[in-house]
Amino acid sequence: MQLVTWLRDVSTSGKFTFLTFAESLDVDEQLVHKPMSAQEASQFQISTVFQLTLPAASLMMQNIQLVVATTPDATDSQRRALPLRIEPHPVPIQLIASNGFLLPDFNVNNKRSEYKACRIQTLEEVNGSTADPRFEVHRSVVDFGFSCFGKPDPVKRMRLWATHVKPCEYGQSYESWSDGYDVAVTASMAECLNEAIELNDVRALRNISLLPTSDMWESNCGFLVAGWLEFGDFWIDSERHG
């Protein structure tokens, strides 16, 4: 127990961390050091959590380093300077499909930028919104022709991005969550089948199975049919009810 106490005691173990950055772009500007404070931990926890609260605006567009001493040796504390970048982003977009479903299931915490919309008639059935009323969501739809299933399965992709309703000081410096957009949704049965196979999502495959016709199975989507065969019981069940 004394060893655990010693390892957790930052005043004797040598563990510490701080941020260092310049408050302006002046090359002669002195670096600012912001030490972080160690948070209380349970009596059995050896790891140490450090915390620092600063206005986000003071860290934007700065060359920042996170200096960390990880050794528990008070006589030989090794420092590591890690480059740190603070990227300003618009608030995440939340997706809801009024009909059908999304693959994978939407979760705003995943920070995923690509989804498939399955069992929908049009991308208008997928809505994007933000939890912050200061932002509005824009969209654009691109037609990519047809999938390997042919004309019964058009492929369309919708890109969505959020901007401030009113101009703000930092609005122009926001970086999108992906390449020029925040999140994208593709509507195509072939794309949904492929995504469901990649995710090993049998539930999604069962739901999608209500749509294909016999002509589609005779198309050039052999790789998808082969993927379905890997699900054994599902294939037998779909044949039985087809």
Any idea where the domains of the chain sit in the sequence?
2-84, 94-241
Helices (H) and strands (E) in the chain, counts: 7, 13
Please tell me the distance from the alpha carbon of residue 158 to that of residue 141, in angstroms, as a whole number: 4
Alpha helices in 9-151 (DSSP H): 10-13
In this predicted structure, which of 46-55, 89-98, 128-137, 208-217 has the lowest mean pLDDT?
208-217
pLDDT tens digits, one per residue of 26-42? 545 567 778 888 777 66
CA separation for the pair 203, 84 (Å, rounded): 41
Q: Which residues lie across from 21 on neighbouring strands? A: 32
CA distance 141 to 115: 14
- The closest alpha carbon to 166, from 131, 139, 133, belongs to 133
Q: Are 45 and 8 within 8 A, CB to CB? A: yes
pLDDT of residue 117: 96
Q: What integer pLDDT is reported at residue 98 of this predicted model?
A: 93
SS3 state at 28: coil
Q: How far apart are CA 119 and CA 208, in angstroms?
A: 7
Whole-number pLDDT of residue 187: 96
Could you tell me the pLDDT band of residue 137, with boundaries at 50, 70 and 90? Answer: very high
User: For residue 2, what pLDDT band results from cuts at 50, 70 and 90?
Assistant: low
Residue 58's H or E segment, with its range, is: none
Winning range, highest mean pLDDT, from 25-29, 67-71, 106-110, 213-217:
106-110
The larger pLDDT score, comparing residue 4 to residue 207, is at: 207
236 pLDDT above the threshold of 50: no
Report residue 128's pLDDT band, with 50, 70 and 90 as the boundaries.
very high
64-69/50-51 β-pairing: unpaired
For residue 232, pLDDT beyond 50 = no
Q: Is the pLDDT of residue 211 over 70?
A: no
Identify each DSSP E strand in the chain by its residue range: 16-22, 31-35, 37-38, 50-51, 64-69, 79-84, 94-97, 101-103, 114-118, 126-129, 135-147, 150-164, 183-187
Q: How confident is the model at residue 200 (pLDDT cuts 50, 70, 90)?
A: confident
Task: Kindly state the helix (H) or strand (E) to which residue 130 belongs, with its residue range.
Answer: none
Note the pLDDT tens digit of each residue in 40-97: 766 666 667 788 888 777 776 667 888 887 665 555 556 777 787 777 788 899 999 9
pLDDT category at 240 given cuts 50, 70, 90 is very low
Pairing of strands 114-118, 183-187: parallel
Mean pLDDT of the chain: 77
